[in-house]
Copies of this chain bind each other. A is one copy, B any other.
Amino acid sequence: MQSHLDRPAIGVDLGGTNIVCAAVTPQARIIEKHKRLTEVPKGVERVVANIKECIREVLRKTNLSLGQISGIGIGSPGPLNTRTGVVISPANLHGWHNVPLRKMLEDEFNVLVVLDNDANAAAYGEKWAGAGKGVDNLVVFTLGTGVGGGIILDGKLLRGPDDTAGEVGHCTIDYNGYQCKCGNRGCLETYVSATGIVRRTIEAIRQGRETVINSMVEGDLSRLTSKIVHEALEQGDALACEIFEETGRLLGVGISNIVNTLNPEMIIISGGVIQAGEHLFRPTREEVHRRAFEEPARTAKIVPAQLGGEAGVIGAAGILFQQLAIEARTQKKP
C-alpha cells in the first residue's frame, strides 16, 4: 500500500496579490502549478473561494484525486497561529481577522492541512530543496519591500510560542537609526530592503553625486526603484556600485548578529537583490568576517537562494511532508 508520505502534496503560497498552488512530489519536484489573483478587496470569503479553486485547478491539471494527495500546506502572511490554523490579521490581507483558514480547507477537502507563515514556508523550501539542502541549521534573509526571514534549527523551523520567531529584518543595527514601519528605529530592514536601497540612493543623489540614475528616472527621483539601481549597476555606474557595496556591508552587520547568536551552518539570502551577485555577496561576507567571531563566521556559508519565487509553494508542501513524517513516527511509538 502506498503511504501518505509517497503521495504528492499541494503547496499554497497565499500572497496579497496572487495565490500560487502547486502539486509537489515528496522529492520536492513541482508536477504542476497554477496561479490566480487573490482579490483581497472582494472579501475573505472570495479569497478563500479563490484558494479552493486554485487547488482544484491543480488537481484537475494533474488528474490527482483527493485520495491521491498527502495533504495541503499553506504559507500565508502573518500574524497567524500554526497550532490553531487561524490567520490573525495580516497587513496585506486587509479585512482578515481571525480567519480559521486551516479548518475551512480541511472541511472542503477532508485531507490533512497545515498552515505556516509565508516567510517560514519560503525558508523551509530553501532548506528542503534549495540552497540549504542537507543543512540542518540555517537562517534565511529575504530582501524585498521589507526584510523577512526564517530560522531552521535541527532541521525544524523555529516558530516560538507566538509564531513570530525569525523576524531577522527587525533587528536594530543602529538604535538611533531610521524610523522603521514596525515602530522601531534602525532595523536592518530600513537599510537593506528595496525601500532602504532607494532611500540611500536618493540621499546620495541629493548630496550631488553624479550617476546615470538621474537620466534613467528622467530627473524624477520618485520613480526610483531598487530594480533601477540594479540596472545602473549593470551599466557600471559608480554610485550604484557603492550602494550595493554598502547594502552588503549593512546586511553583513545584521548577519553577524545572527552568526554570533545562533552559530548557524548557513545563511541564505533571497530576493531580487541577489541578482547583484558578488557586488552584494563579497562586501556581505567581508563584513561578517570583520564583525562576527572567527569560528562561527568561518562556519556560516553565505549563499544565494536557489528556488526564487517557488520557495513558498515548495516549502509549504515540505512543511506538510515534515508534519506527516512526525505523525508517522509518533504513531509508531508504543
Give the contacts of A242-265 with B (CB-CB under 8 A). 250, 253, 256-258, 260-265
A137 CB contacts on chain B under 8 angstroms: 160-161
Check A172/B291 contact, CB under 8 A, given A158-B153, A165-B263.
yes
Contact in complex: B172, A262 (CB < 8 Å): no
Contact in complex: B263, A293 (CB < 8 Å): no
A75 at the interface (CB under 8 A from B): no
Q: Please, how many angstroms separate the alpha-carbon atoms of A172 and B250 in the complex?
A: 11
Q: How far is the CB of A245 from chain B (nearest CB, A)?
A: 15
A173 at the interface (CB under 8 A from B): yes
A182 CB contacts on chain B under 8 angstroms: 293
A162 CB contacts on chain B under 8 angstroms: 263, 295-296, 299
Q: Which of B153, B164, B186, B292 contacts A153 (CB 8 A)?
A: B153
Contact in complex: B175, A175 (CB < 8 Å): no
Residue of B at shortest CB range from A252? B175
Contact in complex: B161, A263 (CB < 8 Å): yes
A-side interface size class: 35 or more
Q: Which of B79, B166, B173 contacts A295 (CB 8 A)?
A: B79
A279 at the interface (CB under 8 A from B): no
SS class of chain A's interface: helix, strand, loop or mixed? loop
Q: How far is the CB of A297 from chain B (nearest CB, A)?
A: 10
Q: Please, how many angstroms separate the alpha-carbon atoms of A299 and B171 in the complex?
A: 18
Contact in complex: A161, B257 (CB < 8 Å): no
Contact in complex: B291, A184 (CB < 8 Å): yes
Q: Which of B160, B172, B264, B296 contacts A253 (CB 8 A)?
A: B172
Q: Chain A 151-162 against B: per-residue CB contact (8 Å), 1 yes, 0 no? A: 101000011111
Contact in complex: B166, A261 (CB < 8 Å): yes
Contact in complex: B167, A261 (CB < 8 Å): yes
Contact in complex: B172, A257 (CB < 8 Å): yes
Q: Please, how many angstroms separate the alpha-carbon atoms of A265 and B260 in the complex?
A: 21
Q: Chain A 275-291 against B: per-residue CB contact (8 Å), 1 yes, 0 no? A: 00000000000000011
A208 at the interface (CB under 8 A from B): no
Q: Please, how many angstroms separate the alpha-carbon atoms of A163 and B263 in the complex?
A: 8
A65 at the interface (CB under 8 A from B): no
Q: Please, how many angstroms separate the alpha-carbon atoms of A258 and B260 in the complex?
A: 12
Give the contacts of A123-171 with B (CB-CB under 8 A). 137, 151, 153, 158-168, 170-171
Contact in complex: A183, B262 (CB < 8 Å): no
A63 at the interface (CB under 8 A from B): no
A53 at the interface (CB under 8 A from B): no
A174 at the interface (CB under 8 A from B): yes
Q: Please, how many angstroms separate the alpha-carbon atoms of A166 and B165 in the complex?
A: 16
Contact in complex: B184, A264 (CB < 8 Å): no
- 9 new A-B contacts, CB < 8 A, other than A170-B293, A183-B290, are A162-B295, A162-B299, A168-B261, A170-B260, A172-B253, A173-B174, A174-B174, A184-B291, A261-B261
Pairs A-B, 6 closest by C-beta atoms: A160-B263, A165-B263, A171-B257, A167-B260, A162-B295, A184-B291
Chain A to chain B contacts (Cβ below 8 Å), 5 pairs: A162-B299, A166-B261, A168-B261, A170-B292, A185-B291
